[in-house]
Amino acid sequence: MARHSIAVIAGDGAGPEVVAEALKVLRAASEVSESLELDFEMYPWGSKYYLERGRVMPEDGAEQLRRHDAILFGAVGDPRVPDPINQHGLILHLRRVFDQYVNERPVYLFPGVRSPLADKKPGEIDMVVVRENTEGEYADVGGVLYAGTPQELAIQTGVFTRRGTERVVRYAFELARRRGGKRRVTSVSKCNVQRFSMALWDRVFWEVARDYSDIEANAYLIDAAAMNFVRKPEEFDVVVASNLFGDILTDLSAAIAGGLGLAPGANICPERTHPSMFEPIHGSAPDIAGRGIANPLGAILAGQMMLEFLGEEKAARLVREAITENLAKGAVRTPDLAGTSSTSAVGDDVVRILRAKAR
């Protein structure tokens, strides 16, 4: 019997709603498996915690999480709390302290889901964006001088290291090998104007590519990559990009595959020396929070990614097959997918399908 300890930070806004459905599905997957047990421990951190205590998580929060095998995260963000407090106090902090240097975001056009791009068929959009997750443009290096005066000056410094670049690029090539399929890695940079940081990125990419002669390597500038995500997304397999460029491209790629409600993400420490963290990428969505209409499939797919990472391939396959059938039938879906069902109804339907497939 495999037993895994999972920390759960449901967070803010619609986060608790979608995480509840992910937990419902994960518990069902555990119940139908003869060799899997999942232990969940809830952590009430985020904006509400900040408004009550002046910080988004306890000072020893990372140490509390360290003993778990993985973290399931909902969302962070509240109009009453400045975004930098939430982002840097919780999710960006955990990415750095746990060296989760890979942000892996798969993009897949499921049967029954309509892409805003004309004539795209199910499975035709099938890529993974690998985003460097701990340095780059989000390194939080810089400052402000003469704040509030006409001479106000702001400096934001991107930090690119050979080590940081090489390890995320190498992860992308290894992922392309595991995926099979197109066996292609595309690097995204802006070396024509960022002639120091992005030149280093490009140089390291092509050096690493020499170690993977079985994988096709190519490169785009960020503007060309964004254009071709729309023009010919079927060309892409594994895309590797810096923190900022990866962040932008993953929202775009999610949009062309049906929307942010279907998009999962994983913050991975590949060496497994620290827990990895799995989340839907849509944020706290305060405009629909509490209305019971948020799409939980991104969170459920994040749970499926977590099962895969933990080596629970059978359970992960059941979850994905259940999601695929739910979307293909189209009878139970939330308003973002032109449906009328509630968040919990979608979770219930995925559980029903999963249990039927397990029999």
The question of whether 247 is a catalytic residue gets the answer: yes
190 catalytic residue (yes or no)? yes
Tokens of 306: 């977590």
In contact, 219 and 187? CB cutoff 8 Å: yes
Angle (CA) 247-248-252 rounded to 5° is 120
pLDDT computed for residue 21 by the predictor: 98
Domain-terminating residue out of 202, 232, 256: 256
Of the residues 227, 256, 285, the one at which a domain ends: 256
Range 62-76 average pLDDT: 97
Q: Are residues 49 and 133 in the same domain?
A: no
pLDDT digits (tens, 9 = 90+) for 88-124: 899 999 999 999 999 999 999 999 999 999 999 999 9
The count of structural domains within the chain is: 2
Task: Determine whether 214 is an active site residue.
Answer: no
Say what the pTM is: 0.96
Look at residue 113 and tell me if it is in a domain. no
Mean pLDDT of 151-175: 98
Look at residue 86 in the predicted model and tell me its pLDDT. Answer: 87
Number of Cα atoms under 13 Å in the Cβ half of residue 230: 9
Given a contact cutoff of 8 angstroms between Cβ atoms, the answer to whether 17 and 296 are in contact is: yes
251 is catalytic: yes
Residue 65, pLDDT > 90, answer yes
Candidate list 251, 314, 348, 357, residue with the active-site label: 251
Identify the band that residue 1 occupies on the pLDDT scale cut at 50, 70 and 90: confident
pLDDT at residue 61 tops 90: yes
Same domain, 357 and 266: yes
For the chain, give the percent of residues with pLDDT over 70.
Answer: 100
Q: What pLDDT, on the 0 to 100 scale, is given for residue 359?
A: 85
Give pLDDT, residue 352: 98
For residue 290, the 8-state DSSP code is T
CB 95 within 8 A of CB 302: no
Each as own residue / partner, the long-range contacts of residues 202-209 (CB below 8 Å, 24 or more positions apart, any chain) are 204/162, 204/165, 204/166, 204/169, 205/165, 205/169, 205/240, 207/166, 208/166, 208/169, 208/170, 208/173, 209/173, 209/185
- In CATH, what number is assigned to the domain containing residue 305? 3.40.718.10
**Predicted confidence (pLDDT) at residue 163 exceeds the cutoff of 80:** yes
Catalytic residue among 99, 190, 336, 349: 190
* Annotated active-site residue in 39, 121, 223, 232: 223
Q: Where a domain ends, among 256, 286, 309?
A: 256
Q: Which pLDDT tens digit goes with each residue over 252-286?
A: 999 999 999 999 999 999 999 999 999 999 999 99
Catalytic residue among 12, 99, 237, 247: 247
> Domain range for residue 237?
126-256
Residue among 39, 83, 121, 146 flagged as catalytic? 146
